[in-house]
Amino acid sequence: MSDEKKPDQPALRQSPENLPTPPGAVESVGARTGMFGVKGSGDTSGYGGLVKPVVFPGAAQRPYGGWFDTVADGLGGLVDRVVIHRNEITFHISRENLVEAAKKLRDDPSLRFEFASGVSGVHYPDDHGRELHAVYHLLSMTWNRRIRLEVTAPDADPHIPSLIATYPTLDWHERETWDFFGIIFDGHPALTRIQMPDDWPGHPQRKDYPLGGIPVEYKGGTIPPPDQRRSYN
């Protein structure tokens, strides 16, 4: 196999992990106290005195390298900023532009991201005005490329448009993200619990969810006959 770098590949970049970080390369969004970041109760790890900054990789500057620029050009003005970390690219997009961006990524012949492998939720309580993050993982089977889209919403208005009309594979992923983080995917046909019981209070993977000391009560936890189970269609 030749060691020559393919012209379509982005230039390799050193990972900032465990390396000195140049000024402006990261964005701070608060600090985590204790092992799990909970406040008031529940952290029994012995790391109660731990204080660790919460940082994001900073925005990348053009040229990004190789096909990274091709995808950025295809999305045009729909992108708020681009982050390249560990030689992987993430496009930060506002929720108002999410549906249009997803359709372009799927349908544009130069992009052709045909497959969405999932959406994950993240909660950053100190990232004021954008506490809830939804991260989408997309694959172009045509061009053998992978990217991420990242969209945010505030705790006070946790709404993000559903993408299952464009990527049907996200159906249960959006349900799980709502179940655990409370992000409401507008337009989803059946946004119901998928792992927690229907009557479970709160969203247990949020940073402000109490850790420990929660009574586990599966009220009416029975399995109905198949013809009496809830239907999603």
User: Whole-angstrom Cα distance, residue 99 to residue 104?
Assistant: 9
Residue 154 lies in a domain: yes
User: Whole-angstrom Cα distance, residue 39 to residue 194?
Assistant: 27
Residue 130 lies in a domain: yes
> Residue 18, by phi and psi: left (phi above 0), alpha (psi -120 to 50) or beta?
left
Tell me the pLDDT tens digit for each residue of 166-186.
Answer: 999 999 999 999 999 999 999
- What is the count of structural domains for the chain? 1
User: Whole-angstrom Cα distance, residue 183 to residue 174?
Assistant: 8
Alpha-carbon separation of residue 118 from 9, 155, 158, 167, 217 (angstroms): 24, 22, 19, 9, 30
Residue 49 lies in a domain: no
- Say what the pTM is: 0.79
Residue 1 lies in a domain: no
Confidence category of residue 233, pLDDT binned at 50, 70, 90:
low
Q: How far is CA 148 from the centre of its chain?
A: 8
Domain that holds residue 198: 56-228
Residue 9 lies in a domain: no
Residue 148 belongs to a domain with what CATH number?
3.30.460.80
Residue 35 lies in a domain: no
Mean pLDDT over 89-113 rounds to: 97
Name residue 126's beta-bridge partners.
Answer: none
Residue 11 lies in a domain: no
Tell me the pLDDT tens digit for each residue of 16-69.
Answer: 443 344 545 778 788 877 776 666 666 666 676 778 888 888 889 889 999 999
